[in-house]
Amino acid sequence: MTRAVAGILVGGAGTRMGGVAKGLMRTAAGGTLIERWRATLREHGVRVVLVGDRSEYVGLGIELLADRPAGIGPLGGLIALLRDAQRTPVLALACDMPFVSSAIVDRLLTVSPGAPVVAPRRDGRWEPLCARYDPALVLPAAEALVASKDHSLQTLLHNVRAVELPLTLDEAGQLHDWDTREDQRS
């Protein structure tokens, strides 16, 4: 049985990066962000899928899930991932986080079993795309958000009473993502 399903969300348009498929950007070590995530996740025995409707990822040999429903941002990707996983715990991970350590992934997988969501917080806000979800507990709440026209992952984590994953200052720095070209240089 699979320990968890890790969904790397790749569906963003990357408009602040000139439309580039962010998961295919190169790290300082030379590999792509997707390759880095895949290597990190392989250590933990999880099934890896890509979530989003971007044709650039088709040839990578990794299962690709389309957002369901499409056009509502990351919530659509999360719902597709939760539906696909059924009862297996889910890691939802942003493709553009090049510094998240294996130790953080391990803690996401093991801390607070039975919690609906385990996620770190930075500056008072949840990190919903570096988090573990229980599909049975979260999918109904996520689908209710779609029906209410609220597509905020912050609202979702608040509504299901997510459990915070405490981070050291160094670990919080690992959650830095690449949203702009300037971010890539830092």
Q: Say if CB 10 and CB 57 are below 8 A apart.
A: yes
Q: Are strands 90-94 and 5-9 parallel, antiparallel or unpaired?
A: parallel
Q: What is the DSSP letter of 162?
A: P
Spans of all domains in the chain = 5-185
pLDDT digit string (tens) for 151-177? 999 999 999 999 999 999 999 999 988
Residues 69-116 have pLDDT tens digits of 999 999 999 999 999 999 999 999 999 999 999 999 999 999 999 999
Residue 1: band (very low, low, confident or very high) from pLDDT cuts 50, 70, 90: very low
Q: Are 64 and 49 in contact (CB under 8 A)?
A: yes
pLDDT range class, residue 184, cuts 50, 70, 90: low
β-bridge partners, 118: 132, 163
What is the spatial distance between Cα 41 and Cα 180, in angstroms, rounded to a whole number? 25
Position 58 scores a pLDDT of 92
- Measured between alpha carbons, how far is 148 from 152 in angstroms, rounded to an integer? 11
Q: Summarize pLDDT for 20-52 with one digit per residue, the tens.
A: 788 998 888 889 999 999 999 999 999 999 999
Judged on CB neighbours under 10 Å (0-12, 13-18, 19+), 113 is exposed
The predicted pLDDT at position 137 comes to 97
Distance CA 93, CA 29 (A): 20
Which fold, 5-185?
Answer: Spore Coat Polysaccharide Biosynthesis Protein SpsA; Chain A (3.90.550)
pLDDT, position 22: 86
